[in-house]
Chain A
């Protein structure tokens, strides 16, 4: 069974800090995704990656960056955290670009609070 592991379930940081959210998947999936989930807004895509060292902006990339140096790991970076980035962050992975009819597999989420 696919396992997508996010490094923290809960995280509290201060305004202006640089924040790293880590995500690791164990099924050799090419595609990885970062979403934020807010009440009433559903899932909004921040960034995604088709493969190692590749990244594409999603719908709401402002204030975020990503890193994909290894296939299994996809990191989300908040360059200078702000209170409006308080949210639940979800990581997902999916088997390869040419198998895009495959479903995504999600991690448990990181609930991030910026004070």
Chain B
């Protein structure tokens, strides 16, 4: 079974700072990877996903993530955060072709000060 670890539980940044949220997974086979975001009072929505091809994936709102297979990582990045990026971020991994059920990390709460 796969598992997901998000190392940063709470992150506080000032506007214009750069962001990197860590996500590591454990699974020996091919995986599908997701980042979801939950803005205050809103539903979870997909930020970006990786299935195959270019390991650098670009998502909405200027976010990107890089899949590094050798490190079992899928870290989320944004070069310059805004106050509106304040949200909770969840990484999820699904074994490709195996279980159809993604496993979620515990989430990272991001607060951006104006």
Chain A residues engaging chain B, CB cutoff 8 angstroms? 4, 31, 33, 35, 40-45, 48, 50, 58, 90, 92, 97, 100-101, 103-104, 106-109
C-alpha spacing A50/B101, complex, angstroms = 10
Residues of A within 8 A of B101 (CB): 33, 45, 48, 58
Closest 5 CB pairs of A and B: A42-B106, A106-B44, A43-B104, A100-B100, A103-B46
Complex contact B96–A101 (CB within 8 A): yes
Total residue contacts A-B, CB cutoff 8 A: 48
C-alpha spacing A102/B51, complex, angstroms = 10
B22 within 8 A of A: no
Knowing A42-B90, A100-B94, A101-B51 are in contact, say whether A108-B42 is a contact too (CB < 8 A): yes
When C-beta atoms are compared, the residue in chain A nearest to B109 turns out to be A39
Number of interface residues of B (CB under 8 A): 22
Contact with A along B1-31 (1 / 0, CB 8 A): 0000010010000000000000000000000
C-alpha spacing A44/B51, complex, angstroms = 23
Complex contact A107–B32 (CB within 8 A): no
Residues of A within 8 A of B51 (CB): 101
Residues of B within 8 A of A101 (CB): 32, 49, 51, 94, 96
When C-beta atoms are compared, the residue in chain B nearest to A6 turns out to be B43
Chain B contacts with A in 19-67, Cβ cutoff 8 A:
32, 34, 36, 42-46, 49, 51
Knowing A31-B100, A97-B100, A103-B34 are in contact, say whether A42-B46 is a contact too (CB < 8 A): no
